[in-house]
Structure formats: structure tokens, C-alpha cells
């Protein structure tokens, strides 16, 4: 009966293998990598990481990514909060259609929008700025935020609102003083998911930038294609992109399912 632990253990092992491959390669020298396969790095080196932290084209990639991701997270959650409240508390003309239409944008394939986005953001002269990417990622992050927040808000009884209004609170005062602190955990989880989805997306971020706001992901693909086989450097850069997720994940571990299911679990 109690041999159940074997399945999750094997599964986790399977998940860790490629990550280990990436990590071990990031500590190898180029010669060792091209020389043949080795499970452990033979000549342990930090040169790849040093190169990333000293070369502006590399570390600027991280800074650019972080800037637009943070901008996007705040825009998305900021506008999604009142909207999610409206969807969870009120019935109004076209509410269901609107809610559905938001979902279609979460599901829209970015490939369909790549070219028109390039033209749109060039036309309003935002091309190659952090704001362009932050706004473009709103396409799928605002619907995501509205759906997740609505899920959290629907778990809060309406009596809370009604009591506050009876006590003479105005809507805005109630919303900021009482409601937002009540769903603080939900807001945290939503911010985490906005951050994540903006962090992992590449196609739009790459299309909308060239030099000044180029994300780390795009820097990596360029290295892979132009300068041939700098695999160690690529592996080090990849390993570093795992850190933000790994860092925050412990705090949201009990809400991961809820977030990925758009607040519907």
C-alpha cells in the first residue's frame, strides 16, 4: 500500500533532469562542452556567469525584462481590481458577453497579433520602449487578472459590502480601506501570475523591441543563432531566468492551482 511515494519521486526526478543538464552545462567551459558528454563539470568555472554580470548587453536584458514585467503587473492588477469587483457583485448590461470577450483575449494566439502589434506600436511611436511591451502584455494579463480576482472576490460574502455601506462608507473608501485588505492574498497571487505570464512570454516582447528595451529572452535567442556555439553562456543565462519563479513560488504554493485555473478551483 505505502509504495505510493515512488510515482511522485520518479516524476520529480524526470522534471529535475533537464534542469540539472542546464545547470551543469552553465558551469562548464566551452571546450569541455564541445569535447564530449560528462555528467559533472570536470573543470568547474564561473566564467559564464561573470560574463553575464559584466557585459551590459547581457545584464541589460535582465533589467529590461524586469522593468516591463513590473510595469505590466501594476497596470494589469490596477485596472483589473475595480472591474473584477463589478463582475463579482453586479449584474449590468452585457456583463456576461464582456466576461467572455476578455477570456477570448487570454486565449488569443500571440502569433496572430505579432505583425499588427509591430505596426500599431510603431505608429504611436512606442516601438522599442518598455511601455510598449508592458501595454502589449495587457492583452492576456488583464483578462487573466480579472478572472483570477473575480474568483477570489466571489468567495467573500456580500454582507461585508452591505454592512460597510450601512455604516456610511462611500464606495471608494470601502474599496480601499476594507475590501482591498480583505483580499490581499488574492491580489498577491494575481500579481504573481501577471508577473509570471509576462516573464515567460517572448514572441510579442521580441517583436516590439530592437535595442533599448530588448528582453533577456531575445538576447538569448540572438546568441544562439549568430555567434554559433556559446552553449555555456546560453545555459548560464537560462539558469538565471529560473530564479525569479523559484524564489516566489514557495509563497504561493497553495494557490498555484487556483491561479492557473483562472481562479475557478
Which lies closer to other proteins via its Cβ, residue 3 or residue 167?
Answer: 3
CB of 202 to other proteins, least distance (A): 5
Q: At what angle do helices 6-26 and 231-248 cross, to 10 degrees?
A: 130
d(CA 157, CA 160): 6
Which lies closer to other proteins via its Cβ, residue 122 or residue 212?
Answer: 122
Which lies closer to other proteins via its Cβ, residue 47 or residue 238?
Answer: 238
CB of 83 to other proteins, least distance (A): 4
Which lies closer to other proteins via its Cβ, residue 46 or residue 257?
Answer: 257
Q: Residue 182: how many CB atoms within 10 A of its CB?
A: 13
Cell numbers given for 127: 516601438
Of the candidates 132, 151, 114, the residue with the CA atom closest to the CA atom of residue 258: 151
d(CA 105, CA 156): 27
Cβ 140 vs Cβ 111: under 8 Å:
no
Of the candidates 145, 233, 134, the residue with the CA atom closest to the CA atom of residue 183: 145
Cell numbers given for 171: 464606495
CB of 34 to other proteins, least distance (A): 7
d(CA 265, CA 260): 9
Q: At what angle do helices 130-153 and 56-89 cross, to 10 degrees?
A: 40
Which lies closer to other proteins via its Cβ, residue 187 or residue 235?
Answer: 235
Whose grid coordinates read 533532469? 17
CB of 186 to other proteins, least distance (A): 16
CA triple 92-94-100, angle to 5 deg: 120
CB of 145 to other proteins, least distance (A): 9
Which lies closer to other proteins via its Cβ, residue 123 or residue 211?
Answer: 123
State the number of CA atoms in the 13 A half-sphere of 96 facing the CB.
0
Which lies closer to other proteins via its Cβ, residue 47 or residue 120?
Answer: 120
CB of 212 to other proteins, least distance (A): 20
CB of 87 to other proteins, least distance (A): 8
CB of 24 to other proteins, least distance (A): 8
Which lies closer to other proteins via its Cβ, residue 129 or residue 154?
Answer: 154
DSSP class of 127: T
Of the candidates 198, 175, 209, 188, the residue with the CA atom closest to the CA atom of residue 258: 188
Amino acid at each position: 500500500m505505502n509504495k505510493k511515494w515512488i510515482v511522485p519521486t520518479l516524476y520529480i526526478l524526470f522534471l529535475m533532469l533537464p534542469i540539472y543538464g542546464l545547470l551543469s552545462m552553465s558551469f562548464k567551459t566551452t571546450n569541455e562542452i564541445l569535447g564530449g558528454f560528462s555528467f559533472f563539470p570536470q573543470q568547474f568555472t564561473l566564467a559564464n556567469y561573470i560574463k553575464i554580470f559584466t557585459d551590459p548587453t547581457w545584464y541589460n536584458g535582465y533589467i529590461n525584462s524586469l522593468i516591463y514585467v513590473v510595469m505590466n503587473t501594476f497596470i494589469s492588477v490596477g485596472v483589473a481590481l475595480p472591474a473584477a469587483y463589478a463582475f463579482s457583485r453586479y449584474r449590468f448590461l452585457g456583463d456576461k458577453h464582456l466576461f467572455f470577450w476578455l477570456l477570448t483575449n487570454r486565449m488569443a494566439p500571440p502569433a496572430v497579433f505579432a505583425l499588427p502589434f509591430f505596426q500599431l506600436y510603431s505608429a504611436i511611436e512606442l516601438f522599442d520602449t518598455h511601455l510598449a511591451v508592458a501595454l502589449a502584455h495587457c492583452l492576456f494579463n488583464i483578462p487573466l487578472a480579472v478572472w483570477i480576482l473575480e474568483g477570489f472576490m466571489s468567495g467573500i460574502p456580500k454582507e461585508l459590502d452591505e454592512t460597510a455601506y450601512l455604516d456610511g462608507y462611500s464606495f471608494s473608501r470601502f474599496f480601499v480601506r476594507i475590501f482591498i485588505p480583505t483580499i490581499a492574498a488574492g491580489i498577491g497571487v494575481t500579481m504573481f501570475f501577471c508577473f509570471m505570464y509576462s516573464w515567460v512570454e517572448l514572441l510579442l516582447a521580441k517583436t516590439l523591441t530592437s535595442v533599448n528595451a530588448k528582453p533577456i529572452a531575445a538576447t538569448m535567442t540572438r546568441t544562439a543563432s549568430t555567434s554559433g556555439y556559446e552553449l555555456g553562456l546560453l545555459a548560464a543565462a537560462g539558469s538565471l531566468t529560473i530564479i525569479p519563479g523559484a524564489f516566489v513560488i514557495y509563497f504561493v504554493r497553495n494557490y498555484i492551482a487556483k491561479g492557473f485555473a483562472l481562479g475557478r478551483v
